[in-house]
Structure 1
Amino acid sequence: MTHTLVLASQSPRRQELLAQIGYVFSCEPANINEDIKENENAVDYVQRLAIEKAQATYHSIGAPQNNDVVVLGSDTSVVYNHCILGKPANLDECITQLQMLSGQTHQVLTSIAAVNLDKVLSKVVTTEVTFKTLTLDEITRYWHTGEPQDKAGSYGIQGIAGQFVTNITGSYSAVVGLPLFETAQLLSKFGVNTPIQLISKENI
């Protein structure tokens, strides 16, 4: 059976990562409320958002009455000392966030969720990232590159900020926005396979 895969995101980074491992898909961004609920921890937050994004897109495309359509949602949060760091609204917020991360190890939580007519499955991937000590001048100059403005935690590891990272434990692609191994494993449970997975099954 051929399945239609829909990515519930307009993130160029997630699109590039999903295409990188051979998936063919369309994009239909989800419009949901991303506010943190009272007493909601970071794991629950990213998991809820990934599921809600996938479900919102599934319904926005007409809630197909068969299992031919699978929607993939994802959400990424940068967490330091149990505090979720969102996208900075201005230079001051960027400075505050990056000074928190300077010389420290923080967590990046990325959740993926897949939805079809019958089921919803999700997984949260945690990666630890350690930064070198940053000066105020470095942070200010980084802000003016334009890169931090739309990034959770005020940085993009795949860009200029890659030079800040002294160590990473876990999935690099999850920090960018989509954990490749876990995504392929999750989608295979819906019968949505990469070309490599298809070849492997055919050769068995």
Structure 2
Amino acid sequence: MSTTLILASQSPRRKELLQQLGYDFVCVPADLDETVLAAEKPEQYVARLALAKAGVIAKQYADDVVVLGSDTSVVFGQHILGKPESLADCLTILKMLSGHTHQVVTAIAAVKGERLEVVVVSTEVDFKNLTEQEIKRYWQTGEPQDKAGAYGIQGIAGQFVKQIRGSYSAVVGLPLYETAQLLSAFGVASSMTQA
């Protein structure tokens, strides 16, 4: 009997990536306050949230269940860029990223009973120069509204990205290599690893 796996997220992107790795799992989203704490660094913030998401769900289940939590932040300088609440917000964020390099920091956390582990992955993303028109047209597509940093690399905004250094899947929301390593360490088998 393989260990039961729960993904503490309702993100369709994370779900797709975990399916791509060949895992059987159920999604149970964690509802948390995602406010950034004073003086909290981006790496600490995503690690804390990933662990909190996994932890809050793990408490509801038996100790043989592994819960995977994840959190992704888009970071420019030391600013954590959230989801845009309006077109004005989207313009501010994407003008900031335009023509510059930013980081996408993703944390994954696994919790099983008393055991917990967190891995943080950082990827550098280079954006092309964006015009105000391009940003407005992009907003009209509806894509940036629910995305940290006001863009989704796997969607229309992929054309804004000149280059990345690091994990592409981490920018989408779940670093594939690190996730497979972490789950393997917790004894979770995928269809790729089963005999």
What's the TM-score bracket when you normalise by the shorter of the two chains? Answer: over 0.9
> Is residue 6–residue 68 contact of structure 2 (8 Å, CA) maintained in 1?
yes
Structure 1: 4+ residue segments shifted above 4 A:
none
Q: Which residue of 2 aligns with 1:182?
A: 178
Q: Which residue of 2 aligns with 1:92?
A: 88
Separation of aligned partners in 2, 1:2 and 1:14: 21
Identity of aligned residues (%): 61
The size of the alignment, in residue pairs, is 195
Q: How does 1:93-132 map to 2 (within 5 A)?
A: 93-132=89-128
Separation of aligned partners in 1, 2:49 and 2:163: 28
Q: Which residue of 1 aligns with 2:61?
A: 63
The residue matched to 2:194 in structure 1 has which SS? helix
**Root-mean-square deviation (Å):** 0.8
Measured against aligned partners, the alpha-carbon deviations of 1:43-62 in whole angstroms (never above 9, x if no partner) come to 00000000000011112xx2
The residue matched to 1:32 in structure 2 has which SS? coil
Structure 1 unaligned blocks of 5 or more: 200-204
Separation of aligned partners in 2, 1:165 and 1:63: 41
The residue matched to 1:115 in structure 2 has which SS? strand
- State whether structure 2 residue 166 is matched by structure 1 residue 170: yes
Q: Which residue of 2 aligns with 1:202?
A: none
Q: Which residue of 2 aligns with 1:53?
A: 53
- State whether structure 2 residue 14 is matched by structure 1 residue 14: yes
Measured against aligned partners, the alpha-carbon deviations of 1:53-95 in whole angstroms (never above 9, x if no partner) come to 0011112xx231x32x100000000000110000000000100
Q: TM-score, normalised by structure 2?
A: 0.98
Structure 2 unaligned blocks of 5 or more: none
Separation of aligned partners in 2, 1:115 and 1:186: 10
Q: Which amino acid aligns with 2:61?
A: A
- State whether structure 2 residue 70 is matched by structure 1 residue 77: no
